[in-house]
Chains A and B, each alone.
Chain A
Amino acid sequence: MTRFNAFNLLKNAVSSNKNWTEQWPDSQPKDEYDVVIVGAGGHGLGAAYYLAKEHGITNVAVIDKGWLGGGNTGRNTTIIRSNYLYDESAKLYDHSVDLWENLSQELNYNVMYSRRGVLMLAHNVHDVQSFSRHIHANRLNGVDNRWLTPQECKDYCPPLSISQHARYPVMGGALQERAGTARHDAVAWGYARGAAARGVDIIQNCAVTAIRRHPDGSVAGVETAKGFIKAKKVAVSAAGHTSVVMQTADVRLPLESYPLQALVSEPVKPIFPCVVMSNAVHAYISQSDKGELVIGSGTDQYTSYSQRGGLPLIEHTVAAITEIFPMFNRMRMLRKWGGIVDVTPDRSAIISKTPVPNLYVNCGWGTGGFKATPGAAHTFAWTIAKDTPHPINAPFTLERFQTGRLIDEAAAAAVAH
């Protein structure tokens, strides 16, 4: 692996960039691995990286049915924040943000973590109550989050309309200054490069068709498009397709898969300094470093595996954006796309051992797992390596749906009288 530094950049520039080497090789499967990870998204690649780096486990393969980072990792709107309500979530996401802040240096790959602040808007009394609850809880958890008046919101994000004549006037907002965005592809590539440099095989275009088990029930390996691969441990991080993969090991997951859509505008000069989210009207927005407005919507109404959402939802999302930011009405949408997100009943993830010995799962990230990539991957690697929960992921078990010990982040979004 060629290290990226100023010297190498210049040296290569002078030699017409002909001497850069590949960031990860095109690996073909070996017969056997200590750990096979299904899904080369940020979560799967990250887990492989930390397995190799922190646990010395390098006989690892990450297998993807497509190309690495081509799932939700490469499709998301990259909002990173940690102002979640419950202690369990706050710990996990804050751990993640801690890792984000050093990730570029850690990976020697610029993931462009941009601490530009995430502002969540309140449009009704219920929002205000809910944000107040979050802000107080965050303060006592040591997580940054504060209340802004409508005028302060406008000062922080000048394109915002705080007109009191709006259909849903802005009543204030919750700001997490430490939050922001990152470059999604770079996260996948940076982890892939780091993992590959430590000996991990990244096997692309190789669908895992089944998890095979020993007669005693424990994991034996995976059937793939390129044949059977033996594995001492199998870890699944396949986002919207996790339930399908896990079913082949007779593990039924409480997941529903929905299309989630996002879009970008044509690029313009900097106009939008931060990230703004509005749950009441269902839209969120930021501006990429390239200049595009990056806009996300809520999930489609119906469950589906097709990475293709409907038009009405997009219309609603754009209407919501132009309602809050009327000046963008004449901007143009450049492209839109969808990903399949895996949603749990309590809207929190599952990072867990499973009833099948040596089978692990990291899924259920739904609409918000990009931000958790480093933290979840880091603790998932621990769980895989040590066959025990990490203190931070321990509450995110699969059993909680049986015991009822839920981490219900969606709950606070219930609607009032």
Chain B
Amino acid sequence: MTELPKLEWPPLIAGTSVPAWVRVRDVLLTLAAWLFLLWAMRYGLALAIDYLRRPMFEFSGMEPPDWSELGHRLEPFLGFIAVLVLWLLGWALAHGRAMRVTGGPAPSPPHPLPPPPREHVASFGMTAQDVEAWRDARIIVVQLAEDGHGFRGDVRQRIFPDA
């Protein structure tokens, strides 16, 4: 018999079986990666420290960077970003009300009704009676029809056996 375990929630797996050295290795490698990034950013960090230490908000020990050069390099990308942000903002403004879940009446006209069940089960080579039988079944064995598209179902057990 399959026992259903009692789950802790949220069901996180902390991985107690993972060896301690693997955990330490992962932490050290990740720390090293952060340190490498900080090293790569050393000029920018030094600038920021210089700018923020006394006298504050001025460069006292370093030459200020060439902002126009950085701006020039990023300009086309910033233009793209501005256009896309405006575009998204437009959508949010236009559909903001519809995006809120109110539980009230639908903000847009309902979609045309889907095809009736008889039509849509026909695409699986099934009849309305087949579907009824499937929906009353607890266990079904399904074969793919010879043409490779339809279903053939063999009901093994019904939900209400005496019905």
| Chain B associates with chain A | no
